[in-house]
Structure 1
């Protein structure tokens, strides 16, 4: 029998060709065995046609030899995964997009990108009348590049473990208004898996002729509009305009959308954002923290424009300046004058030693579209209320503080720092968080700058949770393993790697192993041979 989910299945064709009155009459006059014989003959004919079309689509995919992984592997849940050296989440997203659009183009199926509600995924739209051709093209693609398909609308996830090259993976396709295609990808160490919460979604748009101008209607809302003219002009657009998680160089490899969707998103950040990393401890564990910070930006914040390393100590040999990395020699305490840093963007992230990004983030997670910073609130207690930074903040603004600010990557504005400096306000001298015996409270500079920005309308504190861990914490290995397995923490800050207690308990070594497993892919900022097995000593 032909596939019942196909738009040209025997049942579908039989109902389309034979009117309902005639089918009812035949049921009462034509013997059952005759009707079954006719249907079986029709099913065989359609099955041969479907197989021929599938082979044709498969030849087109194989001929292109596009997007092959280095090798296939079995994922922890038993599904098929693909290994790619140097894998990043953004690279996986672009590879998924290119695979699907290639298959649609090869089958001459028109499509356009849609600004979906979920920023993690790229959404493509095709017309409902091309649904059968879409299934054949994508099933052929999945036979060469093993992936998975589920129905998003209506939601049906029981096929998520069935390879999409199998017919039974498409059993909900006939009624689906939106489907999602996913590929599981990893790097050679298999510590980083990508694809489970990403993928490419395909919406089936219908043609509406009720109005004088023919229109296409989407099956669900999106961030711009659900209805567009059927003759709307197609234009190129960077993937970074469709997803806030994408690299800022998305316009170098654009996709196609309709001119009606070329509208700035509500949460879209249009100004450049840099990153500043402090390099203070020329020690093996200091190098590990610097390398991990660079890798976290490379993996989870590809939209960062230029990375500035503020070097208060000799930089490692594997770190060299290039177009996207600037090394600035500085004296201790230079972070209090970051607004004087040459060529620094007006908005930037400050990553002190131990501050890391733990999962994909967007510029909107740290800045509002009109430029205000969005620092994270921290715990508030008696010790915080009497801290030196609270007195400095009150002196600078005349307003008392009501909450602290947590550690981790910090969003900053140059003009906030410049206005504080012009007022003659200097943050209290901070202690080295990597040598303290416990996790510190609000960093004095963060507390003063963020409180000043809040009072002046330049900051809007948010409540996104962060994880702060001290390397001397008993049972640190279990805490780190939990972070590694879940990978759901946006901000991580590790303290105390230079403390005597952490070295004595083995916490420094445990953090080193955790960083190598959590960030296994070398960043674009590393040169030479950074993988030194002795760097954790």
Structure 2
């Protein structure tokens, strides 16, 4: 509530009819239209899991008690979009001049107001805070510097600052996710100097604009990036901020997952037949880690990896799920931005199927129809841990990044006793040494792999014999080449198309004694860009391990993605059955506006 003194001050300056109209406007904004917006799927407005609950809670944010709105579909990008939308609504309701800016803080939306309209702007924003509690602080302040926005004293204490942070906090119903100042909107006051308005601090485009520069109406998503399946509203800006910058990713970025679920009896029967030799050919002796059951066990990780993508990477265009004719029962195959691809659609030689070798499947990813030149390849046990921008994986000139591990490829030639991962690394090393005369030493981290289709195509041509052998290895073999996870990066590096990058990353071996402690720490701090949950050996108590993993994932990623059916069945279904019942399954949705794949 607004203190009486502050309320009287606002009432004196803002006419009662305007104040009532503004409050009514904010009620509408805070209900459905702005909260995150219109879900563009079949013309339906916000699905229930993305609607706004009409409750508020007191939550703890870095040791402080703060008021937050409970939003069923709370995401980082939605919080940013909502903050921008409410701020713009306040300014427009009061007839205040403003324009959106490509600001100093790249990932946060920024709004500029002429300094001579500051008092009026503050009055209107205080009314917004009266209707919907939120917080303000200096743009440079930490969470501890945020103050209640409906208190006049807060604004008076910030008068010396020309750039502010404005945030209406949100949380999901479990309160595992709270989005506050770090997902706020920045408000700048530009001083008039003659015929120009001067920026109070550097931004990424200009230091001043003509005071009478025309205002253009553009999508709000130009300044607060959202996924292509959603839309917010419009905003005003000036011409200088409508042009793409050299630092913008102007190319689309897709994501590819490979996925398998060994609970599918059809798939298991094929695997057992091939492994035993009943399907033809001579059964071969396999390394213990080449075909052990843990390699194929699904713990529903894909559901949570997609949640992490939805939560933290709104710049992704389309997700391709590559499977052996399987579809998770919970997956909404009609959702915008996802396409299921059968192995038979991408393997250049169908006689190589069925395959149970991830190296073989990875060798064919560049054959996916419609896949963008630049894409991320993920296993389903890899997760985004916090908001990330596209430039963590791709330079804006198209160079891809790769992430080297401290672990080294063992020395010496391939030996039959080598772990499959070590044998593959040695094969990659031999090819690079043969082509370029240099010796590679490091393995790669278990992160999302930024890839380019053109590099993968070149590898298929340059190393055709090795590529053919890898494609035809039905289980992991000492002859395999790790095309997507190693050779692509080093070949691209030697041909000037990839470079080293850096991610804050954690790998957790789920069979290790310290697994639970490390999961608890990860949940408490959420301080890694990406993480991988993996096991290379079978756990002595699979049910206990399952409970541990599910509990962690439910708490880390409580918000369903738009790819989930609300009443989906557990376990795999057959792709052929889904396609028979869904004539739109093969269609890749056209995404409009900012969602054309431009990642800013």
**TM-score normalised over the length of structure 1:** 0.81
Structure 2 regions of 5+ residues with no counterpart? 32-51, 265-296, 344-353, 414-424, 572-600
Structure 1 residues 15-26: aligned runs within 5 Å: none
Specify the alignment match of 2:212 in structure 1. 231
Aligned-residue offset at 1:384: 7.1
1:293 aligns with 2:291: no
Q: Is the Cα–Cα contact under 8 Å of residues 282 and 313 in structure 1 kept in the other structure?
A: no
More moved, 288-297 vs 107-116: 288-297
Deviation string 1:327-361 (CA, Å, 9 cap, x unpaired) is 11114332211111111111111011311111111
1:103 aligns with 2:90: yes
Query: 1:312 is matched with which residue: 321, 324, 339?
Result: 324
Paired positions, count: 474
1:193 aligns with 2:178: yes
> Residues 50, 196 of structure 1: CA spacing in aligned structure 2 closer, same or farther, 3 A cutoff?
closer
Query: 2:132 is matched with which residue: 145, 161, 164?
Result: 145
Q: Is the Cα–Cα contact under 8 Å of residues 54 and 140 in structure 1 kept in the other structure?
A: no
Deviation string 1:294-317 (CA, Å, 9 cap, x unpaired) is 111111112111111001252222
> Residues 476, 55 of structure 1: CA spacing in aligned structure 2 closer, same or farther, 3 A cutoff?
farther
Specify the alignment match of 2:164 in structure 1. 179
1:52 aligns with 2:12: yes
Q: Is the Cα–Cα contact under 8 Å of residues 186 and 193 in structure 1 kept in the other structure?
A: yes
User: CA–CA distance in 2 between the matches of 1:395 and 1:62?
Assistant: 71
1:216 aligns with 2:197: yes
User: CA–CA distance in 2 between the matches of 1:121 and 1:502?
Assistant: 47
User: CA–CA distance in 1 between the matches of 2:365 and 2:409?
Assistant: 30
Aligned-residue offset at 1:463: 2.1
> Residues 384, 146 of structure 1: CA spacing in aligned structure 2 closer, same or farther, 3 A cutoff?
farther
User: CA–CA distance in 1 between the matches of 2:131 and 2:514?
Assistant: 45
More moved, 460-469 vs 163-172: 163-172
Aligned-residue offset at 1:320: 3.8
User: CA–CA distance in 2 between the matches of 1:270 and 1:385?
Assistant: 43
Q: Is the Cα–Cα contact under 8 Å of residues 282 and 315 in structure 1 kept in the other structure?
A: no
Specify the alignment match of 2:533 in structure 1. 494
Deviation string 1:356-405 (CA, Å, 9 cap, x unpaired) is 11111122111111211111121143627874232233234432214332
Specify the alignment match of 2:76 in structure 1. 89
Q: Is the Cα–Cα contact under 8 Å of residues 151 and 173 in structure 1 kept in the other structure?
A: yes
| SS of equivalent residue, structure 2 residue 181 | coil
Structure 1 residues 338-349: aligned runs within 5 Å: 338-349=365-376
Q: Is the Cα–Cα contact under 8 Å of residues 328 and 570 in structure 2 kept in the other structure?
A: no
| SS of equivalent residue, structure 1 residue 110 | coil
**TM-score normalised over the length of structure 2:** 0.73
> Residues 287, 325 of structure 1: CA spacing in aligned structure 2 closer, same or farther, 3 A cutoff?
farther
User: CA–CA distance in 2 between the matches of 1:151 and 1:531?
Assistant: 48
User: CA–CA distance in 2 between the matches of 1:478 and 1:368?
Assistant: 36
Query: 2:549 is matched with which residue: 511, 522, 532?
Result: 511
User: CA–CA distance in 2 between the matches of 1:384 and 1:80?
Assistant: 58
Structure 1 regions of 5+ residues with no counterpart? 4-43, 436-441
Q: Which consecutive segments of 4 or more residues in structure 1 shift more than 6 A?
A: 249-252
Higher relative contact order (CA 8 A, sep 6+): 2
User: CA–CA distance in 1 between the matches of 2:9 and 2:173?
Assistant: 41
1:266 aligns with 2:279: no
Deviation string 1:446-484 (CA, Å, 9 cap, x unpaired) is 111100000011101112221111111212222112211
| SS of equivalent residue, structure 1 residue 175 | coil
Structure 1 residues 158-173: aligned runs within 5 Å: 160=146, 162-173=147-158
Specify the alignment match of 1:328 in structure 2. 341
Specify the alignment match of 1:374 in structure 2. 401
Query: 2:364 is matched with which residue: 324, 332, 337?
Result: 337
| SS of equivalent residue, structure 1 residue 105 | helix
Report which of the two structures shows the higher radius of gyration computed on alpha carbons: 1
User: CA–CA distance in 2 between the matches of 1:226 and 1:58?
Assistant: 34
Q: Is the Cα–Cα contact under 8 Å of residues 360 and 490 in structure 1 kept in the other structure?
A: yes
